[in-house]
Amino acid sequence: MPFTYDDQNIFAKILRGEIPNSTVFENDHALAFHDINPGAKVHVLVIPKGPYVSLDHFAAQATAPEQVGFMAAVAEVCRISGVEEGFRAIANTRAHGVQDVPHFHMHIIGGAQLGRMLPGD
Ligand code: AMP
């Protein structure tokens, strides 16, 4: 499937330094920062620095160093965020997944007991 990246999305602007962010961790391939509207005690977003719109775009087309760098950032965020008791990783994707920002991001959510993910679970 074709993936089209809009470089005017808010996370692209964060990566270009055009708007501020509260950085948690950064490496060559990824940036992690606090969600501006946290849904839990810990709510960090991890984004690749490359122009990928979604998890499936990133998984299909990111280079091996980009994928390794991204997962290394996830590991570091988990290590430093106090989620030893557990957390949830979410990548909302396109319309059905209710993705608001069209730059791939992984939510790392935790710091306290979470509810079930879906109604009826
Ligand atoms: P979604 O695309 O639905 O997975 O979620 C986008 C997330 O980005 C939401 O949780 C927002 O609160 C968050 N967000 C939007 N703008 C910013 C920003 N400038 N800095 C940090 N988080 C943001």
> pLDDT tens, 102-115?
999 999 999 999 99
Could you please report the per-residue DSSP string of 20-78? ---EEEE-SSEEEEE-SS-SSSEEEEEEESS---SHHHHHHHS-HHHHHHHHHHHHHHH
Structural domain count, the chain = 1
Is position 105 within any domain? yes
Pocket test for ligand 1, best of 6, 15, 37 (most atoms within 8 A of CB): 37
Is position 89 within any domain? yes
Is position 29 within any domain? yes
Is position 119 within any domain? no
Is position 116 within any domain? no
Atom 12 of ligand 1: nearest residue by CA position: 37
In the chain, the N- to C-terminal Cα span, in Å, equals 31
The residue range of the domain holding 53 is: 10-110
Is position 93 within any domain? yes
CA distances to 17, 18, 67, 94 from 91, rounded to whole Å, are: 23, 24, 15, 10
Q: From ligand 1's centre to the CA of 74, what distance in Å? A: 17
Read off the pLDDT of residues 13-63 as tens digits, 9 standing for 90 and up. 999 999 999 999 999 999 999 999 999 999 999 999 999 999 999 999 999
Is position 36 within any domain? yes
Q: Who lines ligand 1 at CB under 6 A?
A: 10, 21, 33, 35-37, 45, 92, 98-101
Is position 91 within any domain? yes
pTM: 0.97
